Amino acid sequence: MTINHSGKAVIAGIGSTKFGGLPGRTTVSMNVEAIRKALKDAGIEKDAVDALFVKCPTSKFELMYGQKVAEAIALQPKIGGVWDSGGSSNVMMIATAVMAIEAGQCDIAVVTFADNPKTGSAASYNRPRGDDALYGWFATLSSYAMIARRHMGQLGTPREALGAVAVAARKHGAENPNAQLRKALTLDEYMGLPMMVAPFCRDDCTLVSDGAAAVVVMSARRASELGVKQPVPILGFGFGQTSWEVAQRPDMTSTQAKIAAETAFRMAGLKPKDMDVAQIYDCFTITALMTLEDYGFAKKGQIADFVKGGNIEIGGELPMNTSGGLLSETGMPGMQLVQEGVRQMRGDATLQVKNAKHCIISNQGGVMHTHATLILGQ
Amino acid sequence: MNAPATAKTPEKKPDTTLPGPEITPATQPYWDALREGRLTYQHCHHCKNNWLPARGECPKCLEADWSWQPASGKARLISWVVFHRAFHPAFADRLPYNVAVVELAEGPRMITNVIIDDPETLVIDQPLTFVPAQEQGYGIARFKPA
């Protein structure tokens, strides 16, 4: 028997640190600040929390990191720990919290993430891949560039389509007072940038950022009992894992994001055309294009037509990454997208999409190895 | 560099030693063969699957009943990138250089370099041929247009 959890749980509060460079702060300290702000936003006391899900910092793996964060907030959760599926972890943990709450294992969960690769070490992004350093196979961005080249060659995707993702993110980020990079970019400027790892230039690539963000998850009933002011219902979620390393992947131009979205849409009883706004993981421009395809917003190979002419910008058919995404707001892996989704559903985003009723959010990890989809409503 | 030009400190050269492959009992025959200029892959006797990189068990049927087979050297180009920035000092004076994914005629896919003057003239799916090469004392497999 399948139980449909759609709408039974809510995101009750969100909180984050500043984004950019935060010298001298430990990741535990940043987590505490984000949690403090998320609890205040939800209007609940810390002692009401009985579950703590943490994504370990990408730049430095630490054993039992979840317990370090729990100790720093003097919490003894029923359920807690670290989930590692890379950048899909945050949505994965939010959904896990919903399932744990529905199963009666906990009541109120905090999901949190912090990292400091900007003032700390960004080495994990630039390391050699597998055993192939002898071939010069370095850096995370190169694997995404490899996928982008295949997409361009196999499906005829022009660089202008990659550029449209960067232009939209930078346009929206320029309007966001909290964004790390507030500098709009034109398509002409993008097309004129020198190659870094072709077919990528610098502006195809995520920012490297310090910062933390946390959310509070509880049942809709509990939120009502506690008088939470702006609970945002979780309507759907789904997951899919491609797993193969890029070189081993039999099909380089589609991922299990398709399965993740199908599961989330089915749970929510909604379709792509019902989405009013999207927060799509844009660690690299190709990631957002392929996610939109796999989610069903455009047919494979026709994504260039979908993203051109401002269609994914505010005022377009599907405004995307309305606070700037990983390319402009912060390079944080995914939680900022959830937070902007919450603001859009509350109706208090800086670049608010008028009458937005449904928001789809993607998180993904590795090099499109793992995927998680979240649909929020009102 | 903010140091005054008169400073006598000798310039420290960055270490250009690349991290070598992690050689295990399972991968040793692959690297030994490449050192002799031969490209090999693993073949499962149980389900007939062919694969690289070297593993202890067939990823398709999970059996450990396999052997090394010589590759024909025929391959096709799946994709490639061109590095204009060095992420390791060993590649600082080789820019720009390409890294490619190729699919061997027998099925396995691998990371390689394509020997070509202008990598931007390459075409997705074009046929390639194996060229044995050496890097830092290891045998490696490069490819050239067929």
| Fold for the domain defined by A9-118+207-376 | Peroxisomal Thiolase; Chain A, domain 1 (3.40.47)
Is A251 exposed, middle or buried (CB count within 10 Å of its CB: 0-12, 13-18, 19+)? exposed
The predicted pLDDT at position B11 comes to: 63
pLDDT per position as a tens digit, B40-70: 999 999 999 999 999 999 999 999 999 999 9
For an interface test with A, the pick among B55, B81, B97 (most A C-beta atoms closer than 10 Å) comes out as B81
Q: Say if CB A307 and CB A316 are below 8 A apart.
A: no
pTM for the model stands at: 0.95
Per-residue pLDDT, averaged over B71-75, amounts to 98
Q: Say if CB A91 and CB A372 are below 8 A apart.
A: yes
A-chain residue closest to B102, CA distance: A247
Q: Say if CB A264 and CB A374 are below 8 A apart.
A: yes
CB contacts of B91 in chain A (<8 Å) are 136, 138
Strand (E) or helix (H) holding A32: helix A27-42
Using the Cβ of A247 and the Cβ atoms of chain B, whether some distance falls under 8 Å is answered with: yes
Nearest by CB to A138, from B87, B110, B136: name it. B87
Instruction: Give the list of residues 6+ apart from residue B105 with CB closer than 8 angstroms, or none.
Output: B71, B72, B74, B75, B76
Check pLDDT > 80 for residue B8: no
Q: Would you say residue B85 lies in a domain?
A: yes
ipTM: 0.94
- The pLDDT profile of chain A, 378 residues, written as one tens digit per residue, is 567 889 999 999 999 999 999 999 999 999 999 999 999 999 999 999 999 999 999 999 899 999 999 999 999 999 999 999 999 999 999 999 999 999 999 999 999 999 999 998 878 778 877 689 999 999 999 999 999 999 999 999 999 999 999 999 999 999 999 999 999 999 999 999 999 999 999 999 999 999 999 999 999 999 999 999 999 999 999 999 999 999 999 999 999 999 999 999 999 999 999 999 999 999 999 999 999 999 999 999 999 999 999 999 999 999 999 999 999 999 999 999 999 999 999 999 999 999 999 999 999 999 999 999 999 999
Using the Cβ of B94 and the Cβ atoms of chain A, whether some distance falls under 8 Å is answered with: yes
Q: How many domains does chain B have?
A: 1
Angle at A320 between CA A318 and CA A326, to 5 degrees: 165
Per-domain residue ranges of chain A: 9-118+207-376
Closest-CA distance of chain B to residue A315, Å: 35
Domain that includes residue B44, residue range: 28-145
Nearest by CB to A247, from B19, B87, B111: name it. B111
The predicted pLDDT at position B13 comes to: 75
Instruction: Give the list of residues 6+ apart from residue A135 with CB closer than 8 angstroms, or none.
Output: B99, B111, B112, B113, B135, B140
Using the Cβ of A158 and the Cβ atoms of chain B, whether some distance falls under 8 Å is answered with: no
The predicted pLDDT at position B9 comes to: 56
CB contacts of B93 in chain A (<8 Å) are none
Using the Cβ of A193 and the Cβ atoms of chain B, whether some distance falls under 8 Å is answered with: no
Closest-CA distance of chain B to residue A289, Å: 18
pLDDT tier at B10, thresholds 50, 70, 90: low
Q: What is the DSSP letter of A10?
A: E
